[in-house]
Structure 1
């Protein structure tokens, strides 16, 4: 709508009162605000238009375009007459021309026996009243569109243009559902996704800008979006791509935004950033953070000596013959360095590896797990400098002793 200079309107289709509770509607509106889906006019509530819907139904009956019938013996319904001869067709802006024989259609209920309008009628009447020119929706409504177009014609109204977007499927090509992961916007929000990242990701389900760009600003999205570039085939929900995109948005945030959130989460965990090289830590962590919920779990070793150990990492990297002696020697050599920096700490391990006839990884991995408790993270030597020489050497010696005492947790120890 914004690309074409039109208006994006919101209609709350709340005629099913059992499902459309006020709490459910409030949740919907809150999720839209969080995603940045701002509409251009006050929302319209379909339930407030029921009298208008029923008046249209009565007019259709009076003109012979609909009839009343005690369908199924449950009370009198209003049923719309569909054409019985010829072909029905419409041009879908995504799928192209869609046709079917009129004889393959059936009359359908537009007012239930309890006197409430069915969504087919309500939607068309509201589209007319709201001046809707384009209806863009999921392709599970392709068949409904034949019904809706006939209703528009019966009311003497201009038929809007329709575009049916592909359904979202999982990696197996089946409809995406809760069994595949989060399916409600609020769940993504709770899991730590940024609204800008989720919005960007959802836009790319079934559409692409035509170049290699994937991370787009909202203004770029509006400028580039066209229905012609929408795909008609099903869109696969790639969770790995969403996680990557969330990390990209965090990486691109202004430093002050990331710093405020990072610091708040560290302090909320009872840790302090005082006396730490916070700028240096942020340099290392912002490019690696995929979710804010990872903080401070992914970097607590920068702020405390009581950091947890990855049990698999302990078993694989530390509980190996000769590691206690290795860690003690690294500590001794680090303590003797004139300058404790990225280059000098790196050169120590290179020299030790050459002396022992092993690759650098044989030293990097145990040192990393010993000083951070983790098997991955920032570059080891950058991390060592940020932790500081005194803490690094103390940790190496402490872990070496705990290995001798067999007090480090591992996956085989309960």
Structure 2
């Protein structure tokens, strides 16, 4: 079957050619496709093309009327686009058409070329702008990887920024590797990220009969063949247990397509093998199911990872064999680690669920993932998701590999954390506080409320909350051997500093500046600057060398007696 690509004539600017009118096999009846019995079946109208108002010659609204001027009907003819109730309406400007000649053809005759223009303009007037339809199609064989999450996000961003439709399709045709709990986890992570879908979720396994129908049609038309376990071709066209089916690769062809990210890409079919489209166990292969489902669901844009680029020519050949339109492809750059190696589930920290459990905010995760291959035109990287939607264009994605930088992710997350309103921060910290090591009755909500003002600016993740406040709700501070060794054993004059601080803090006003001045004065007498002077007091009171502001914590969130008790315990240990 030879496809004839007809010239594009007079379609509205930004419009889409109607495949069953302009791109059908030579000699085929308009709007039909090969049937399973060799006859013709009507082509399904893609979901993304608006239905026409009948196929009869246009009349009424949208009709191009020809009128004569003057009582004798002579002179120059005028044309207008009749709108509702006979009022003029705007007509889409045609692309590639020269202005109409005012020359009179005489006798009311309309030249053949003008008749074609009139018909195509009327047809174009019945079409509405194409709605972009994208899909995220994960396989439930593992947890959601940051690379897959980035793919889902870019599809979602494209749909939201263009007013399109985001479809979720679970590609679960590999029954041996699929696990239902992984499907549930995958859906939960997408919901956590806020990537809501418009249609869904579809399960590819539910369309197996449709996949089988297409394979049987390809076999019947000689475009595919059966093969046995030794990959030897077997006579016949009927699918049966133990036999697989391969697509017959055409010879001497070059498959060319324009990728939004990578530009023009071409493959020579002589470099491609006859590929399996149906397994011997009675299930479709990924490429076949992917092509059929994309066509049936009217997917207009396939936005996915660069690792799937090599499969595109095979999918396009399948779509051609089915008489289906090609989607627009955009292959996103690979994600790499600090060694510039492709991210690996076995080697790298890549599971979205792990970041969620460690206390990363979903909006921060989305913000950072959006920067992996794309950048805002104003170079402001940390921003709300709504602004990213407004700025995102799939055409701005670059093809260079993107470095998944954990430190930058922490920075983005910390910035979003600092931007949370205090009630929102306290609510989000709740799950981590509920699993903290202190007894529930020792937790003081008022004290924690005051501590939020001191620690929110310092946190990198919500998972850090407990470490910054646990000493307030435990009987004794956490024993951190590394901190004790560094400050109390290896540090200078720790015992003298604790002795002096205990005496100074026993009598000073219990206010932030007074507490700070008391510790500073003791340290100054020992030849220590404030940073060195406060270190033994910090370890004695909190158990760690790093934590919230020390003097504000002691004066505003702790009783003087408790501070002095802890200093005495630490001094006795020395």
100-109 vs 33-42, greater mean Cα deviation: 100-109
Question: Aligned with 1:199: secondary structure?
Answer: helix
Q: CA RMSD in A?
A: 2.3
| 2:439 is aligned with 1:270 | yes
| 2:551 is aligned with 1:393 | no
Q: Distance in 2 between matches of 1:240 and 1:179?
A: 20
Aligned to 2:28: none
Aligned to 2:162: 4
Question: Aligned with 2:249: secondary structure?
Answer: coil
Q: Is the 8 A contact 1:267 1:273 kept in 2?
A: no
CA-CA distance at 1:16 after TM superposition: 0.7
Q: Distance in 2 between matches of 1:297 and 1:204?
A: 30
Aligned to 2:460: 290
CA-CA distance at 1:100 after TM superposition: 2.6
Provide closer, same or farther for how the CA distance between residues 384 and 43 of structure 1 changes in structure 2, counting only shifts above 3 A: same
CA-CA distance at 1:9 after TM superposition: 0.1
Any residues of structure 2 matched to 1:175-214 within 5 Å, and which? 175-214=342-381
CA-CA distance at 1:293 after TM superposition: 3.1
Q: TM-score, normalised by structure 2?
A: 0.65
Aligned to 2:132: none
CA-CA distance at 1:11 after TM superposition: 0.9
Q: Distance in 2 between matches of 1:287 and 1:321?
A: 30
If each structure's helix is expressed as a fraction of its own residues, which one has the higher value? 1
CA-CA distance at 1:157 after TM superposition: 1.4
Deviations 1:233-265 (A, max 9, x none): 222221222233333333322211322454665
CA-CA distance at 1:154 after TM superposition: 1.5
**Structure 1: gaps of 5 or more residues:** 404-414
Aligned to 1:374: 544
Provide closer, same or farther for how the CA distance between residues 345 and 180 of structure 1 changes in structure 2, counting only shifts above 3 A: farther
Provide closer, same or farther for how the CA distance between residues 113 and 358 of structure 1 changes in structure 2, counting only shifts above 3 A: closer
Q: How many residues align?
A: 402
**Structure 2: gaps of 5 or more residues:** 1-158, 233-241
Aligned to 2:535: 365
2:322 aligned to 155, 179, 190, which one?
Answer: 155
Q: Distance in 2 between matches of 1:278 and 1:28?
A: 34
Aligned to 1:402: 573
CA-CA distance at 1:71 after TM superposition: 6.0
1:18 aligned to 163, 172, 176, which one?
Answer: 176
380-389 vs 1-10, greater mean Cα deviation: 380-389
Deviations 1:378-410 (A, max 9, x none): 22222221324332233223322221xxxxxxx
Q: TM-score, normalised by structure 1?
A: 0.89
Q: Distance in 2 between matches of 1:50 and 1:278?
A: 56
Aligned to 1:328: 499
126-135 vs 285-294, greater mean Cα deviation: 285-294
100-109 vs 13-22, greater mean Cα deviation: 100-109
Q: Is the 8 A contact 1:67 1:81 kept in 2?
A: yes
Q: Is the 8 A contact 1:206 1:233 kept in 2?
A: yes
2:212 aligned to 49, 54, 63, which one?
Answer: 54
Q: Distance in 2 between matches of 1:48 and 1:274?
A: 53
Q: Is the 8 A contact 1:36 1:195 kept in 2?
A: yes
Larger Rg belongs to: 2
Deviations 1:305-341 (A, max 9, x none): 411132122122112563223212112122222x332
Q: Distance in 2 between matches of 1:167 and 1:201?
A: 15
Q: Which runs of 4+ in 1 moved over 6 A?
A: none
Question: Aligned with 1:29: secondary structure?
Answer: helix
Q: Distance in 2 between matches of 1:214 and 1:144?
A: 33
Q: Is the 8 A contact 1:309 1:369 kept in 2?
A: no
Q: Is the 8 A contact 1:169 1:236 kept in 2?
A: yes
Deviations 1:182-205 (A, max 9, x none): 333333333333332222222222
CA-CA distance at 1:376 after TM superposition: 0.9
Provide closer, same or farther for how the CA distance between residues 280 and 27 of structure 1 changes in structure 2, counting only shifts above 3 A: closer
379-388 vs 146-155, greater mean Cα deviation: 379-388
CA-CA distance at 1:151 after TM superposition: 1.3
Aligned to 2:289: 122
